[in-house]
Structure 1
């Protein structure tokens, strides 16, 4: 009798174990449907010629060759790539640099620190599309709040068509993106500061370290995981920049392709019918695959490099 009950208990435990393995299935299904399938489809589509939305002959790597060598595709690709690089550099310097400084100030337990955290993070609660349209109104050259304020301050010479001038359009969008992402970056850096053991900080203070010396010699090495996370996230976001650019300037990269990014260029190739060429979907798929591989390879190399640096520290 006892042996029969033991066997039954073992069967129930096995059934429970198998039941646990069923829980990830919905998540895996969603991941496969919206991540794996589109990626595999894009790779497949990039090897074919297309007429509208109809797949034609297999062309191998022809779409990739055209993307890098055939005009106007290669010119638009490198133009958009340069804009993505600028996007990344400015975000690292302006957004992440300012966020690191503000996080350090908030970490000093200044009065109103909690209120500051909420204020900095508030823009992140808005939709990117909403942010784009709001700033488009603010930057309007005729009735926008920014030019009105400049007029009130007597700075008439500073007034510009911020989104209509090729020299200022891209930088304006990048700075708006920095404003939007500042709060999130502050939270990441603040979490990094708060993870530093208090004993180390107190010991450093007893040894005479304070201010910038404390930050550079003690805190910076211990902040490397947070810095690494924000660098990777900023890189990925910069090279996937689409929503804000689309909301503020549309899919044509106006004015004169000065705000084109790789994601906007991909949208225009694959869905926008920018050239009327029969291989638009094939070229767009090739661009998507190139962008995916570039982000993956760069991220993997950077993470490997940073892990080695952490060991050295």
Structure 2
């Protein structure tokens, strides 16, 4: 019998190395996930016992006006929150990465650090500081805009229904723009010098080189940034809670799925918590994220592989 026909020994060291991570991930992610899915299929009876209701909680969430109006309002707000990040945060991140990757730029390391620092700050700090900055009573924004001759443009943006959600999204953009910037910066550095030298020999330099050579090679990274933005935005909660409270004022105009889940599950003020309906909202959030990630993995990523080295 040849050596190829012999059975290969099982690589136990792979199991040993993977076991701690798998166990921890299972304990803090997989088990709670299935627990949430299970909880969404039950309801609390009047005598306090758990009753299996199947998909009735989902019918209530989508069909009962007491639940569906707030749910669709939060979903629409969450979608707008995501759109602003995609249209503002990611293009700015790409532009900053392109500028900071310029070889002749001085103090580039300092600029990268300064832009990335807000991403590691606590949501509590960011929310509290921006509330102070934008306050019409003691904030520095009115004074600063007056000094620039733009005082008439100032408004209490966090207190107006038409602008509160957009303002919070832009605050979030300010905090996290450093993440797409660093990912794009690393992707730009990974482009082989031979490709750029060949482009220069063909007369493609400057901005033309970025649009025609670098940007197409960055598409896989842009796809990853987009799906990370999608998952992060549809899991958002902290900034809304810190700045606007659990009621996501004014008049629920900043309410997103995370804050709606919090009020549904734990209750707030006059609203009683319902763990079963809260689990139902969490399950729908999981389904939305799962569908979005699946579309990216099977519909987008496979087409972007042609741009990878």
Taking structure 2 as the reference length, what is the TM-score of the superposition? 0.89
The answer to whether the 8 Å contact 1:228/1:303 transfers is: no
3-state SS, counterpart of residue 260 of structure 1: coil
Measured after TM superposition, the shift of residue 137 of structure 1 is: 1.4
Give, in whole Å, the separation in 2 of the partners of 1:158 and 1:105. 30
Q: Is the 8 A contact 1:48 1:55 kept in 2?
A: no
How many correspondences in the alignment?
298
Evaluate the alpha carbon distance shift between residue 81 and residue 274 of structure 1 in structure 2; reply closer, same or farther with a 3 A threshold: farther
CA contact (8 A) 1:107 1:190 kept: yes
Pick closer, same or farther for the CA change 1:77–1:41 going to 2, 3 Å.
Answer: same
1:205 & 1:57 partners in 2: Cα distance? 70
Match of 1:300 among 271, 294, 304: 294
Larger Rg computed on CA atoms: 1
Match of 2:41 in 1: 47
**1:92 has 2:86 as partner:** yes
Question: In the alignment, what sits opposite 1:310?
Answer: 304
Q: What is the alpha-carbon distance in structure 1 between the residues aligned to residue 275 and residue 269 of structure 2?
A: 11
Q: Secondary structure at the match of 1:232?
A: helix
SS in 1 for 2:158: coil
Q: Does residue 1:256 correspond to 2:256, yes or no?
A: no
User: Residue 72 of structure 1 aligns to a residue in which SS?
Assistant: helix
The Cα of 1:159 is off from its aligned counterpart by 2.2
Give the corresponding residue for 2:171.
Answer: 176
1:163 is paired with a residue whose SS is helix
Normalised TM-score (structure 1): 0.88
Q: Which runs of 5+ in 2 are unaligned?
A: 1-8
**C-alpha separation in 1, matches of 2:84 and 2:91:** 10
- How far 1:23 sits from its partner (Å)? 4.7
Q: Which of 49, 55, 60 matches 1:66?
A: 60
2:44 partner SS: strand
> What corresponds to 2:226 in structure 1?
231
Q: Which residues in structure 2 correspond to 1:158-197 (within 5 Å)?
A: 158-197=153-192
- RMSD in angstroms over aligned alpha carbons? 2.3
Shift of 1:168: 1.1
Measure the CA separation in 1 of the matches of 2:190 and 2:107: 21
Equivalent residue number for residue 100 of structure 2: 106
Contact (CA 8 Å) 2:73, 2:255: kept in 1 or not?
yes
5+ long unaligned stretches in structure 1? 1-13
